[in-house]
Amino acid sequence: MASLNVGNLGEYLREQRRQAQLSLRQLAEAAGVSNPYLSQIERGLRKPSADILQQLAKALRISAETLYVQAGILDERDRDEVETRAVILADPSVNERQKQVLLQIYESFRKENAAEAAAVAEAEAEAILGAGPGAETAADDVDAETRNTN
């Protein structure tokens, strides 16, 4: 697990709180944490647990994964997917039902593309290894040609 990058997390939380037009006290109350504790997180003095990050995300109406990435808990490789989801969830011009539909479509495209990539990789592997059972390999071809010329 990566170490927590608390300073960036605090700045990010503060920005999300301001975008949500919440005071420090309002967010603390909504997330079920103390006002001083939230202040310390925002100033980079405290390392919140994953549970606290989840409570904060719920209160801010953003994905917990977004906060996990900011805190260094979630692997950087997942950042693009997390950011895409966060943007969809944060868009105020789209209602909750529409957000869920968009996320379902997004996930179905990701699965479809992963399946296609796996099929292409499998086809490439088969082409390298031969056309299938009973097919001669390149080494067999060379051996056959060598026997025929002798």
What predicted TM-score, i.e. pTM, was given to this entire model? 0.52
Residue from 13, 5, 15, 16 nearest 71 by CA: 5
User: pLDDT 10s digit of each residue in the chain, 150 long?
Assistant: 344 445 589 999 999 999 999 999 999 999 999 999 999 999 999 989 989 999 999 999 988 888 888 888 877 666 677 778 888 888 899 999 999 999 999 999 988 988 998 999 999 988 888 755 544 444 455 455 545 554
Residue 132's CB: how many other CB atoms inside 10 A? 7
Contact 71, 6 (CB under 8 A): yes
Q: What angle do CA 114, 71, 78 make, to 5 degrees?
A: 5
Alpha-carbon distance 138 to 15, whole Å? 61
